[in-house]
Structure 1
Amino acid sequence: MQKKVVILGSSGGNLYNLGGKDPNALLGELIRQIQKADMTVSAIQFIAAEASMDHVHPTTKASLWTWDGGSAGKVFSGTLEEVNAEAVKEDERIAACIENDGIDGVILVSADPEGANRQALHAAAAKKLAATGTGGTSMAKAQAMGLNVVAVSGTTGTTNRTRAIANVFALSKHWGLKYQPAIGGSVSLPEASQGSVWSRISVRGVLMASLPGFIAMALTLILSKIPGLESFENVFNLMIEALPVIVAAVAAKQVSGLEEVAVVAGVITGVLSVKGGLIGGIIGGILAGVLVQYLLMKCLKLGFPTTTANIVSGGISGLLAGLAIYLFIGPLAIMLGDAVRYVINTALEINSVLCGGIAGLLIWPAIMGGMYHGAILPIILLEMEKTGNSFLGAIDMVGLVMVSAGIMLANVVYPRVKDDRTLAAPGLFINMVFGTFVEAAYPFMFSSKFVLGGALASACIGGLFVGFFNVRGTAYVPSIVAPTLSSDWLGFLISMAVSMFSAFLFTVLANKIARSRNRTSDQ
């Protein structure tokens, strides 16, 4: 039979600032790990205050959370004094359940053995139930009551996830159960990103999540070009050095699935990976993420307190991964990044117009075929790593965003059918204001081969202009801002206008032909 577990406690003092203020996330993570260990939750009694328990008073607002058999939820709200009174009733019910052998183990979360949890813990002590939890003072009092505590830890340096893993691991070990922590995803999506740590490695995911950092870097480049703000060039150079830190932190978090402790490991790795550039930061972050999970579980198996396990897994893994990049992998990563940029620059020096035309022609097939995020985006970011803009970034804005905007504009001004105007307007707005969501053009491209052909032709024409002006730029920014982020604002503006106008004309012509055919068929 499944082991039945009860969760008792509160939002705590120190815990309040380490996840306790969000009972939904704290309890959700505990429930998730309990269910992953093939245990079941029998009851919950959790008092959530709107301030740290170190600084509360009887009139502090609070709420009582319990278990309804399927989920945790708030059942009563009021002052802390009122909530404590309600909690005593739940304490009596749980104590009766324990006395009737309805519970096998206890997880304490900054519990109150002398107050709201007194009856349940006395009953658990009498039954010699296995117990684990966090909260130095409360756990000491629970042990003094005779509770069979199999593991105990403080809260400093921990997260909701690492505390939950440590608590469930301790019970699993005590009962001899197999337990593979639920790592990755979220408490609301418990099956997301499961599997081995290796299955969570995704360079595409790392780069997409890190993209705002690259845009922030590009914006500092704009500021450095404004008269009187030339000093921002130093900020721009600092942002370039920060990119490996950003990607390393994101990679470590995604690969390990361990939230803050992994972010710390990633930042440590990223700082040591600066000389390895973007590629070095990604590799370092992945290594850190793998090591964080490995060292955390190793520490728990050796019986380390959760705080110590967090410190070891976060600090040591970040240091080991960072030193690997700093001493060995970094120089190779820089050489690889330089090689990619060298190939692009060499091709542009031979014939930039031809390169632009080919890139523009292939950009739509690439994104439709799923190659954009896996192949093109990494190259764009590698280019941006050095200069803040990119040749393929310019192709992205001109060949994808502006072509999509042209198609949307045509369907607003001269739609094939009236409903197309309603569909196109939001897509046009997002394209122009955010420089993304080119997929908005798909319904019009897939419903008309003429529009699809016009999109390919317009992207190719725009690419030719990008190559002619030999301009570098970026997407993912408002169209009105994009030229200021480029190496040649006028050339980039002309290229954007040409591709958008071309797509607009092709789509209007296609819609006109479709209207004419519809009128003929109606007659």
Structure 2
Amino acid sequence: MKRVAIVGSSGGNLYNLGGKDPEKLLQEIINQTKAGNIQIAWIQFVAAQGSMDMAGKDTLSTVYAWDETESKIVTRFHGSLKECNDYVQELDEALSADIEQGLVDGLITMSADPDGANHRAITTAVNKQIPIVGTGGTSMALISAKGAKVVLTSGTTGTTNRTRAISFMTALCKHWGISYRPMIGDSKESSGISASPWKRINIRGIMMSSLPGFIALALVLALSKIPGLDMLGSVFDVLIKALPVVIAAIAAKQVSDMEEVSVVAGVLAGVLSMDGGIIGGMIGGIGAGLLVNVLFRKCIEWRFPTTTVNIIAGGISGLVAGLLVFYLLAPIALQAGEWVKVLIEGAVSFSPILAGLMAGLLIWPAIIGGVYHAAILPIVLLEMEKTGNSFLGAVDMVGLVMVSAGITLANIVSPRDKSEATVATPGFLINMGFGTFVEAAYPFMFSNKLVFSGAIISSGIAGMMVGVFDVRGTAYVPSVMAPLLSNNMLGFMIAMATGLVCAFLFTFIANRMAKKRGKESLEKISA
């Protein structure tokens, strides 16, 4: 197993691009070494409380090192920058000895000081001709001038913790002939092998993450109806055009997870995909995310500087994916979204009461079966894309949120057991206060068939009321605010109250029946 040492400092430009949080910067490199099955032998890193471009000898600084026994980053010394540099020179001598003895196979440098604090280690690395990778224009130029075996060099501009770390590992692993796939995600939970970008495409996750943008749209729509705030109508129009950009940025980030690089690619793709609506934005964002990974790896293999790699991966990926949607896929994507909306509107036009009833009856089985977030939520967002609210969004609020609130409220007022009131209270407050957490009703629904049936029936009745009043609305907002975001405030309030009251009555009766049966059983046992 190859062993590497990390040396350097929080740097000047690097300070603003990750060096300000040295533990996070170093941890990202450690994550990527795990993915390449490479060991950390040393860390010798000076982190100043300010950019080295402005720091003086009295600037407070910290020396970070590596505890190989505990396999973790540790702080070895605190003091002025001069004191830290003097302390590092002692560590540098020990690191130099390890390199001389062949205990270190490669060097990762970031804004290192080859003529000062890191002089001995770098000189020995040059003499032993072990591979060196690093960033920092000035320091890497000095290291190269000493005759070092540099396999990757770059400035810091445009880089991130992740892209730097992946660049380092890609170059070293290619030099050593080691198979390496970058680690993506939470290092504390990851095994060190990342999933293929194709496997990270998750429509449900993209839609859920984009939801705040749609809620903001609904809020602006509601405010624009208040006398004196008519000017917000133009803000609403701008936000509608921005939704594909939001979707694209999130899609690119989730698919590639290359931090700011993927976000930039997603935003570029989204801007060019706006004519395709949110489906076009999603296609553009997913395409950008996939291309970021491909171009990033290829550019590293071609030994481009890391700054250039980031520019190409972020800029070209976004442009290519966005232009593909702009010239070819936008009309198709827009039409697909229109078909979905036409289908919903057609069903509502045919019989709004029947449409509301069927949606209400099916929405609980859909969320329990895992279909809601994969199928219904995207349709809700497609509806909201044009009008800021949704027929199915209204059914969501009255059939799920309000029914769940009714079930939990009944278990607060008349629980089968006192402990159930404690369980029900947070669920009721969250549903009423935030318009989410319908799962709070699950324990009561799954433990009593009458409550379960009552939930579905109540949802159907409430959905029918949505149809009666031809309501368009949304969930995921406080219950007191939801009617303000609808097209029919009074109708939505009646439909919401219907869902809550029906569910409350069904659950209240079910709990009373259950308590009565329990008393009768106890009487029989005692008799």
Same fold (TM over 0.5): yes
Q: Deviations over 1:108-143 (max 9, x none)?
A: 011122222122112212221110100001111222
In 2, the alpha carbon distance for the partners of 1:81 and 1:218 equals 56
Work out the CA distance in 2 between the residues paired with 1:18 and 1:186.
20
Aligned partners of 1:185 and 1:192 also within 8 Å: no
Checking the alignment, whether the CA contact within 8 Å between 1:399 and 1:463 is kept in structure 2 is yes
Contact 1:185 1:191 in 2 (8 A): no
**C-alpha distance in 2, partners of 1:257/1:336?**
28
Assess if the C-alpha contact under 8 Å between 2:244 and 2:278 holds in 1.
Answer: yes
- Deviating 4+ runs (over 6 angstroms): none
**Shift of residue 467, structure 1, vs aligned partner:** 0.7
- Determine the structure 1 residue equivalent to 2:59: 60
**Alpha-carbon deviation of 1:83?**
2.9
Q: Who is 1:91 aligned against?
A: 92
Worse overlay, 413-422 or 237-246: 413-422
Letter aligned with residue 8 of structure 2:
G
TM-fit CA distance, 1:170: 1.2
Alpha-carbon shift at residue 86 of structure 1 (Å): 3.1
TM-score w.r.t. length of structure 2: 0.96
Deviation per residue, 1:160-186 (Å, 9 max, x gap): 11111111111112222222222x313
Q: Deviations over 1:47-78 (max 9, x none)?
A: 22221111112333322221112122334333
Runs of 5+ unmatched residues, structure 2: none
Could you list the per-position Cα deviations for residues 333-375 of structure 1 after superposition, in whole angstroms to 9, with x for gaps in the alignment? Answer: 1111111100110110110001101100110100000001110
Alpha-carbon distance in 2 for matches of 1:461, 1:452: 15
8 Å CA contact 2:35, 2:193 repeated in 1 = no
Residue in structure 1 matched with residue 489 of structure 2 by the alignment:
489
Once the two structures are superposed, what CA deviation does each residue of 1:76-101 show, in whole Å capped at 9, x if it has no partner?
33333333333233222212211221
Residue in 1 that maps onto 2:185: 185
3-state DSSP of counterpart to 1:45: strand
Residue 250 of structure 1 aligns to a residue whose secondary structure is: helix
Pairing of 1:240-319 with structure 2 (within 5 A): 240-319=240-319
Q: TM-score, normalization: structure 1?
A: 0.97
Q: Give the residue type in structure 1 aligned to 2:171.
A: A
Contact 2:224 2:232 in 1 (8 A): yes
Aligned-partner Cα distance in 2 for 1:131–1:194: 25
Q: Is the 8 A contact 1:248 1:269 kept in 2?
A: yes
> Percent of counterpart pairs with the same letter?
56
The one-letter code of the counterpart of 2:60 is: K
SS across alignment from 1:76:
strand
2:2 corresponds in structure 1 to 3
Alignment partners' CA distance in 1, 2:147 and 2:299:
27
Structure-2 separation of matches of 1:130 and 1:254: 33
Q: CA 1:365–1:87 in 2, change beyond 3 Å: closer, same or farther? A: same
2:356–2:463 contact (8 Å) kept in structure 1 = yes
How many residue pairs get aligned? The number is 521
State the partner residue of 2:440: 440
Whole-angstrom CA distance in 2 between matches of 1:324 and 1:459: 43
Q: Please name the residue that 2:364 is paired with.
A: 364
Q: CA deviation at 1:196?
A: 1.4
Shift of 1:193: 8.6
Q: Where does residue 38 of structure 1 map in the other structure?
A: 37
Distance 1:131 1:392, change over 3 A: same
Matched-pair contact (CA < 8 Å) for 1:64–1:76: yes
CA contact (8 A) 2:182 2:194 kept: no
State the Cα deviation string for residues 173-231 of structure 1 (Å, max 9, x = none). 2222222222x313333348922121111111111111111111111111111110100
In structure 1, distance between residues paired with 2:75 and 2:200: 34
3-state DSSP of counterpart to 1:55: coil
Note closer, same or farther for the CA distance 1:353–1:105 as it changes in structure 2 (3 Å cut).
same
Contact 2:416 2:511 in 1 (8 A): yes
Secondary structure at the residue paired with 1:8?
strand
Distance 2:14 2:222 in 1: 43
* Between 444-453 and 377-386, the greater mean CA deviation after superposition: 444-453
1:147-226 aligned at under 5 Å gives the runs: 147-182=148-183, 184-191=184-191, 194-226=194-226
Deviates more, 1:44-53 or 1:500-509: 44-53
After TM superposition, list the pairs within 5 Å mapping 1:398-413 onto structure 2: 398-413=398-413
User: 1:297 Cα deviation (Å)?
Assistant: 1.1
Residues 61-70 or 501-510, more deviating: 61-70
Equivalent-residue separation in structure 1 for 2:275 and 2:394 (angstroms): 27
